[in-house]
Amino acid sequence: MSSPYQELKERVFSANQEVPKRGLAIYTFGNVSALDAARGVMAIKPSGVPYEKLSADDLVVLDLEGKVVEGKLRPSSDTPTHLVLYRAWNGIGGIVHTHSSYATGWAQARLPIPIYGTTHADHLADDVPCTRVMSDEAVERDYEVETGKQILECFGRRDPLHTPMVLVAGHGAFAWGATPESAVYNAAVLEELAHMAFVTRTLDPTAARLSERLIRKHFERKHGKNAYYGQK
Ligand SMILES: [Zn+2]
């Protein structure tokens, strides 16, 4: 136990291992980070290391300005995107980035995922938003920071903990949560919702969105102040 960040690194390591296990990434695709808000640091997967070669000691710890405070490897190239989101949003403790197939399919089609059914409404009361396409100038400026800004712009005043996922147009998916474990859960939920919505739209290109009443009912029985889903 030499590192003060050991527990944070162990959690981020386990969360990263979940990503290929849930079928959300192959090879080195994707990354998970977690925030230790009290210490003002985040830990993230190193760049270009395959999941099966990863160990907790490989994880990189950075402050919220992006300065490495522990770790020998280079952090994931998407680190600046994670930092933009942690700095902007309170209550986010973990972020996952994937190019999972169905979510990325919608992102590449530049389409939000409509809330077609109650599985979706159990998790969020909105369509999964899709950002605008990034301008050439922004790509040249600071690509990964601009990706974070694109997400913030897309979210506006939306509560990120009520809609814990987004599609980045032409790119892939980001999901997050209060913890790194919940962020991975949300990334897996996003992929499942994207898959279901794809099937729905394929069977019926004019399929209707779920009624507002059913959306509210399903979202609130799990998340509202009178939630009654699951065990007390
Ligand atoms: Zn990516």
pLDDT of 161: 95
Type of residue at 147: T
pTM of the model: 0.95
Give per-residue pLDDT as tens, 168-211. 999 999 999 999 999 999 999 999 999 999 999 999 999 999 99
In sequence order, the β-bridge partners of residue 75 are 46
* Structural Rg of the chain based on CA atoms: 18
DSSP reduced 3-state for 5: coil
Ligand 1 center–CA 30 separation, angstroms: 7
Q: Looking up tokens 């009290």, which residue turns up?
A: 38
Q: Is 122 tagged catalytic?
A: yes
Ligand 1 center–CA 98 separation, angstroms: 6
Number of H helices, E strands in the chain: 7, 7
Q: Choosing from 58, 122, 127, 143, which is the catalytic residue?
A: 122
pLDDT at 232 over 70: no
Q: Is 229 tagged catalytic?
A: yes
Ligand 1 center–CA 231 separation, angstroms: 37
CA angle 46, 148, 184 (to 5 degrees): 55
Ligand 1 center–CA 171 separation, angstroms: 6
Give per-residue pLDDT as tens, 4-40. 999 999 999 999 999 999 999 988 899 999 999 999 9
Q: Tell me how far apart the alpha carbons of residues 112 and 37 are, in angstroms, rounded to a whole number.
A: 31
Q: Choosing from 27, 63, 159, 229, which is the catalytic residue?
A: 229
Give per-residue pLDDT as tens, 86-115. 999 999 999 999 999 999 999 999 999 999
